[in-house]
A and B are shown apart, each in its own frame.
Chain A
């Protein structure tokens, strides 16, 4: 699993970095985005471009977003 911690980056860099990493995903790779808030616009970019995601609110100011392009990957099984 690739990991991308964007918590310390000013908006909108987290979105730009994650979309860039999402475009480079291959096969059944999963990208873990670690962010301080839930990035709603990212979800729409992912789904509109054929990807899948699972958003987990870990605690206050901490979200884990699992992203893949493979519909066979069960994101519910993904753990940090």
Chain B
């Protein structure tokens, strides 16, 4: 991700940190809801459940992914994002206010808030896409860029479907196609946006960060085609009310199983087997994805509702695990890189920016949060335990990010520039 980084094109560090710092704040809000309203959150289609799902997928997962995309587009795309400070501020503000409005709309049942949320989130995501997509279309040579383009396009479609649904909630009237819109909304969001982006980021970073064998070119070229075709056919099936739409889910699930096994194999056979917390997060994330896929495939046959809930929770935690792992690697690197590039003698080594001890602690807290959350559909009280663990996890994450940002500012303010002695 970073070995092609160009200082002239990398956005200021605050652009990325702004999105990353918001993630634990929404994590804390969600954890509080889990402690206070566990039964409601675990009830299918309950407003508290829908609020929690959007806090998780928009407030945490998408927030982390959009922040990372600001960095990755500049690094890999070769074409810098115009006015990154101003544009990131606009997008971030629209998303934060939109997510708060949407969660409040569900929780407090204010129809007007659904309209406000739709306008804020819709415009934030459209604004983000109209900035990034042209840059990605201009640079077509890189498979990861093509994957990013596919993911952002999927996010755009997910948002448009979300706006349609929000207007239905605001009016209290649901069309005959509401179920098809809803299924398309979450299918494209989960697979086309989240899974596709993580897969294409993995194609780029697993080999580079962990010195592993590279993925095959066939995979790099065809994953997005298979996912895109499966999603398109599923949406057609849903709107035409044709039977067996789940067949396309099975295709996508099998592809994701292939991704899990291929990536685990590469990580296990890497050349340098050093202890790195980010690898622990990757392995746990892949394990959670496998749990999500197996429980979903089982639920297709059994129609057992807790299995469906377990699948959704495990899928979200898969994405969150990888985002947290990558944040632990990206943030110290960005602080170190920007300070070194500016020539500061006092630039700390990366392992001192967020100490390994604290990263390991966050991994174990995430493990506790995740294990209790995925079992909560069967034992609802476990969601309270998960919320308590989540409070500790996201407080620590916030502390790690704030201390890294403070360290950066301190060196900028008091550091001395590096000069050679003659």
A positions within 8 Å CB-CB of B? 8-12, 15-16, 19, 23, 25-26, 36-41, 44-45, 48-50, 69
Contacts and interface: CB of A to CB of B under 8 A. Distances in A.
Main secondary structure on A side of the interface with B:
loop
Main secondary structure on B side of the interface with A:
loop
Name the interface size band of chain B. Answer: 20 to 34
A41 B7 contact: yes
B350 A49 contact: no
B255 interface: no
Nearest to A26: B421
B211 A12 contact: no
Contacts of A8: 211, 271-272
A39 B349 CA distance: 18
Contacts of A19: 340
A44 B6 CA distance: 7
Contacts of A16: 336, 349-350
Contacts of B5: 40-41
B413 interface: no
Contacts of A44: 6-8, 341
A15 B333 CA distance: 10
Q: Which 5 A-B pairs have the closest CB atoms?
A: A41-B5, A44-B7, A11-B209, A49-B343, A69-B420
Nearest to B347: A19
B192 to A, nearest CB: 28
A37 B208 contact: yes
Interface string B6-27: 1110000000000000000000
Name, among A25, A38, A45, A69, the residue most crowded by chain B CB atoms within 10 Å (CB to CB): A45
A15 B337 CA distance: 9
